[in-house]
Amino acid sequence: MESESRQSRWRKANPERYREQNRQWVEENREHIKEYQRDWRKQQRAADPEAIRAKDRARYAANREHIRGVMQARFDRNRGANLLALRADGLRRRYGLAVGEYESLLGAQNGGCAICGGPSARLHFDIDHDHQTGRLRGLLCGSCNLLLGHAGDDPRRLEAAAAYLRSH
């Protein structure tokens, strides 16, 4: 029978100090641990991606409510940053526009709608773009964006509507 190492005996004799030292070490090496885990996960996924996917699906199915609760709590804790990140991601994916470019466009329009010059009733302006070419035209408040949308982006229809309003 092997004798217990001095280190093992110390751990058993000092469980609180051992836990505290371990917690401190993990805190100091958090980034290194995450990097190691990412690398290990990549290696495992590369070796047998289907097995990893099956394990992930099984783990999620067994813990669905807990996982959703944890994810919702994390989102709620970081709500402001998450909403900004979602907005930035949406701008990039849908329009190829960075947040800085959006801000520059807004500055060029003096902080208002490109049509009426007014503020947006919401947190942000709508991005007006040509639906056929995808080319950005400007930033619009919700009302002006709806106006163009309901007119089908047809200048003749908008001119006819303006003439109608002038005559009545």
The pTM is what? 0.51
d(CA 42, CA 36): 10
Domains and their CATH numbers in the chain: 50-96 (no CATH), 110-167 (3.40.1800.10)
pLDDT band at 2 (very low <50, low <70, confident <90, very high): low
d(CA 135, CA 128): 9
Element (H, E) at 2: none
Average pLDDT, the chain: 89
DSSP 8-28: HHHHHH-HHHHHHHHHHHHHH
Between β-strands 136-140 and 126-129, what pairing exists: parallel, antiparallel or unpaired? antiparallel
Asked whether 113 and 122 are in contact (CB, 8 A), the reply is no
Q: What is residue 1's predicted lDDT score, i.e. its pLDDT?
A: 44
Check pLDDT > 70 for residue 87: yes
pLDDT per residue as tens digits for the range 118-164: 888 777 888 888 888 888 889 999 899 999 889 988 899 999 999 99
pLDDT per residue as tens digits for the range 95-126: 888 888 888 988 899 989 999 988 887 778 88
Q: What is residue 25's predicted lDDT score, i.e. its pLDDT?
A: 95
pLDDT per residue as tens digits for the range 38-86: 999 899 889 999 998 999 999 999 999 999 999 999 888 888 787 788 8
Q: What is residue 95's predicted lDDT score, i.e. its pLDDT?
A: 85
Q: What is residue 92's predicted lDDT score, i.e. its pLDDT?
A: 87
Asked whether 38 and 30 are in contact (CB, 8 A), the reply is no
Element (H, E) at 115: none
CA 135 to chain CA centroid, Å, is 24
